Structure 1
Amino acid sequence: MNRASSTRKFAPRKLAHQERATRTVDAILEGAAHILEKLGFEGYTTNAIADRAGVSIGSLYQYFPNKDAVTLALIERESAVLVREIEAAAEIPEWREAIRGMNQAAVRHQLRRPVLARLLDVEEARLPTRDPAAPGAGAIFGAMTSVLARAELTGSVQQIATDLMGITRGLTDMAGRAGDLDADDLERRVHQAVFGYLGGRSGAPRR
């Protein structure tokens, strides 16, 4: 099965344009999030999602052809929240403070609903994205490079951005898997790792 056909399999059956339809989709996605958090993958079925959302199973299938389509939409919803917070932090004029704000956004996003974030990380690795330009890593990479371009750094800004994203993702994902819910301590560790890395670059003193 090629990528186009596999992504079509998980595409929503219809888009929610009207207010009532939007509310239904929102209820389905929040129902899915609740089931994942409370029951994990074993209890994560379309019937359970529909029941929690307060809709019929037929209504769910009007919008999503299968459970994986619901999951992808939930991943995109959560990613869009993170992207908005990262892009807001990127607007901070002083580049070091912008990086700190982006670190904080990543930590808070991971720990806001830690069980959900951890399980969606697993599913994100398993499922094909519907759109290569979907909200997520690409938008965050763009925000990161725009901030780093304001600094005096040695080496490729693109490579530095990739490395920083890897450092942050690694620490936050590990904290999620370990059940580490101390956001302040995790922020401190992420800041130390990120600015420790940047400290090796000319013009980027340790913070």
Structure 2
Amino acid sequence: MSSTPPLLPRKSPRQRRSQLTVASLLEAAAQLLETQGLEGFNTNAVAERAGVGIGSLYQYFPSKDALTLALLEREAARFEADALAALEVPDGPAALRHLIRASVRQQLERAELARLLDEQEGRPELRAHLDKGRFGQLINTLLQRPGLPPQADAALAAADVAALIRGLVDGAGERRETDLAHLQCRVEAAVFGYLERAAAAARGLQGRECESGMRAGAAPA
């Protein structure tokens, strides 16, 4: 009977040398995924590429899954640092464009790495350790900025916008797209188009059309 691989790090690097070792291991893991794919990704190969002994790797990462989770968290932290700069932009549309640009960069600048990590992120045992709620919270905050169409239900609109951005950029990654500007243009069109139409529906300009569409798409009782 197989046991679940441990996911949490054995210890946190406190000294500068330890921090550099962990950083080297994570970058080696990223490079292996990019060049060898999941088939060539294992702890021995990561340690060799990082130039450290396998014992040093296991001091911090008790399994390949623990290493994968740490790499997911590293990429999430890098994206969050880029995305949070949108909070410094007072204009709503410009702030939202910054967030979209950060999302596109995260997906396409290291496209193969992002694509493979997206696959791993879908595994329930890894996903349970990742906080996905902050993205929606950030969007909710940005939707309150001046210049954006006011939404009747900001939380629902933020959830929809988050789904739009994730769906479009993840789909582009799966198709191995490389044109950042083109993808950003499409994501902006989808997001701002949604916000305009949702705001119009809230004002009653398209309420009947939306209601009839929902009735038409509803399953029969």
TM-score surpassing 0.5? Answer: yes
In structure 2, the partner of 1:27 is 24
Distance 1:32 1:124 in 2: 15
In structure 2, the partner of 1:143 is 138
Superposed CA deviations along residues 82-131 of structure 1, whole A, max 9, x for unmatched, are 11111111321011111111011100111110000000001111153487
For the pair 1:185 / 2:175, whether they are aligned, the reply is no
Matches within 5 A, 1:1-207: 9-129=6-126, 134=130, 136-150=131-145, 151-202=148-199
Residues paired across the two proteins, number: 197
Q: CA deviation at 1:202?
A: 2.8
Task: Name the SS for the 1:189 alignment partner.
Answer: helix
What amino acid is the match of 2:123?
R
Q: Is the 8 A contact 1:35 1:43 kept in 2?
A: yes
Runs of 4+ in structure 1 off by over 6 angstroms are none
Superposed CA deviations along residues 135-172 of structure 1, whole A, max 9, x for unmatched, are x5222222111111235523211111111111111111
Q: CA RMSD of the aligned region, Å?
A: 2.0
Q: Is the 8 A contact 1:13 1:65 kept in 2?
A: yes
Structure 1's 194 and 117: CA in aligned 2 closer, same or farther, altered over 3 A? Answer: same
Q: CA deviation at 1:61?
A: 0.3
Task: Name the SS for the 2:19 alignment partner.
Answer: helix
Distance 1:27 1:191 in 2: 36
Task: Give the gaps of 5 or more residues in structure 2.
Answer: 203-221
Structure 1's 34 and 127: CA in aligned 2 closer, same or farther, altered over 3 A? Answer: farther
Structure 1's 63 and 130: CA in aligned 2 closer, same or farther, altered over 3 A? Answer: farther
Q: Is the 8 A contact 1:28 1:50 kept in 2?
A: yes
Distance 1:23 1:83 in 2: 21
Distance 2:159 2:91 in 1: 20
What amino acid is the match of 1:39?
Q
Task: Name the SS for the 2:46 alignment partner.
Answer: helix
Larger Cα-atom Rg? 2
Structure 1's 181 and 70: CA in aligned 2 closer, same or farther, altered over 3 A? Answer: same
- Identity across the alignment (%): 45
Task: Give the gaps of 5 or more residues in structure 1.
Answer: none
Distance 1:194 1:152 in 2: 11
Distance 2:124 2:13 in 1: 22
